Amino acid sequence: MISVVIPSRNDDINLFRDTLNCILAQDLKPKELVVVDSSSNSNVKKLLKNTNFHGITIIYKKIEGSFAGKSTNIGMKLANEKYIALLDTKTKPKPNWLSTYINFIKKEGLELVFGNTKFFSHTWFQDLIRISSYGDSSHETVPGTVFMKSKLSTGIFFIENVRSSYDIEWRNRVRKKLLTKTPNVALIEYEDFPKNFQETVKKYFIYSFYTAIVNVQKDAKDLYLSIFLIATALIIPRWNFFLDGWDANPLYIADVTKKYFLSILAIFFSLLVTSRFFPQSVKENLAFNTLKYLVYLFIFLAIFNWNAVVAEWVEDATFYIPHITKIFIFFVILTSIFIRGIFKPLSNEVKLEHLLPLRWLFIGMMGLIIDIVKAPGYVIGSIISKFR
């Protein structure tokens, strides 16, 4: 009745062994396990050969190196049972995972049930990453998802040419095509966080890089709007410099820079309010992120030029603020650490006593580092995506 599909590519074989043991412990056993292996070694093949699956049919497919999206697509096409369940080599389902999900589909007339994953950590360093990103709450995921194989005819396959964020795009697209549900209870566990700083930087840079690619591929209009916003930021503040006769020219606009900044600030805050009601449609939007960074840039430039423009470098002037740029940068960093170290973890169900007295500071610093690492990856990914 159920085919479990798992993609693999040079993953930790011990974690995969744990995943297989969890599949064998299901109270509703799958009839088929499909493993699509694009590893550069034979570890997965050896593991499958040395495991007793107690009558579960094994379909093993070796392919050239590929991302998980492509491997999963191949696995779904190879599956023969009525229902397809998705896992990866690093997730551990609870024993009642398949029985609970099949029950959801049958009783509620659903076509697909998304995975719901709880995240765990083993070391102090991994705990900082876990709390700064996922916290103690569970999250909707592709691993753990169960759906009717017949719905593959609707075209619900994954993007194949990206390493990450293909799952977010897939979930958003599937929700528009099928009758879906995300259960309140977390029946999937994940614990494979980076073990050191170098792995963390590499993972989040790559994640943001491919996130940008997926966003741009999803809607090219976002890219064009982003380019337009950047062009306006370069041209409009200097509009009057392009005119002959300066203020005598009929196209002259008084205080054009202030008016432009106030306009994009108003648009930004309007979208920010909108994002509270439609978070997926706004916050993952490339144009919205471009607008956000433009606002940040103009605020920084305003602070940087404050004493020159407002106080005219007169130290005795009322509005002269010594070391204003340093104060501003320090304030931004401190605010970011405070938000990432306290407010975000609390919103992800982390208890306050787990953040005090100083643990929140380390969590906030880890969150700030992740944000800094992701920024260049997102920009580079947005540019390169149009040449892929």
Are 122 and 50 part of one and the same domain?
Answer: yes
30: its two tokens? 């799958």
Please give the Cα distance from 105 to 79 (Å, whole number). Answer: 19
- Is residue 354 domain-resident? yes
Encode pLDDT of 340-369 as tens digits: 999 999 999 999 999 999 999 999 999 999
Are 135 and 103 part of one and the same domain?
Answer: yes
Are 186 and 301 part of one and the same domain?
Answer: no
- Is residue 208 domain-resident? no
- Is residue 362 domain-resident? yes
- Is residue 102 domain-resident? yes
Look up the domain containing 175 and give its range.
Answer: 2-193
Are 122 and 185 part of one and the same domain?
Answer: yes
- Is residue 84 domain-resident? yes
Q: Which CATH number do you get for residue 113?
A: 3.90.550.10
Are 262 and 162 part of one and the same domain?
Answer: no
CA dihedral over 376, 380, 385, 386, signed as positive or negative? positive
- Is residue 200 domain-resident? no
Q: Give the DSSP H or E segment for 287.
A: helix 286-304
> Residue 361 contacts by C-beta under 8 Å, 6 or more apart in sequence?
337, 341
CA dihedral over 315, 318, 320, 321, signed as positive or negative? positive
Are 224 and 189 part of one and the same domain?
Answer: no
Are 170 and 234 part of one and the same domain?
Answer: no
> Residue 283 contacts by C-beta under 8 Å, 6 or more apart in sequence?
275
Are 369 and 250 part of one and the same domain?
Answer: yes
Are 178 and 254 part of one and the same domain?
Answer: no
Q: Are the beta carbons of 18 and 47 closer than 8 angstroms? A: no
Pick from 163, 3, 179: nearest CA to 67: 163
Are 180 and 259 part of one and the same domain?
Answer: no
Query: Where is the domain boundary, 158, 193, 228?
Result: 193
- Is residue 205 domain-resident? no
Are 27 and 138 part of one and the same domain?
Answer: yes
Pick from 36, 4, 42, 41: nearest CA to 20: 4
Query: Where is the domain boundary, 159, 193, 227?
Result: 193
Residues of the chain above pLDDT 70, percent: 91
pLDDT, one tens digit for every residue, the chain (388 residues): 999 999 999 999 999 999 999 999 999 999 999 999 999 999 999 999 999 999 999 999 999 989 999 999 999 999 999 999 999 999 999 999 999 999 999 999 999 999 999 999 999 999 999 999 999 999 999 999 999 999 999 999 999 988 878 898 899 899 999 999 999 999 999 999 999 999 999 999 988 888 777 765 555 556 566 667 777 887 888 888 888 877 788 888 888 888 888 888 888 888 777 766 665 555 556 667 777 778 877 888 788 878 877 777 777 777 788 888 888 889 889 999 999 999 999 999 999 999 999 999 999 999 999 988 887 877 777 666 655 5
Are 39 and 177 part of one and the same domain?
Answer: yes
Domain count within the chain: 2
- Is residue 209 domain-resident? no
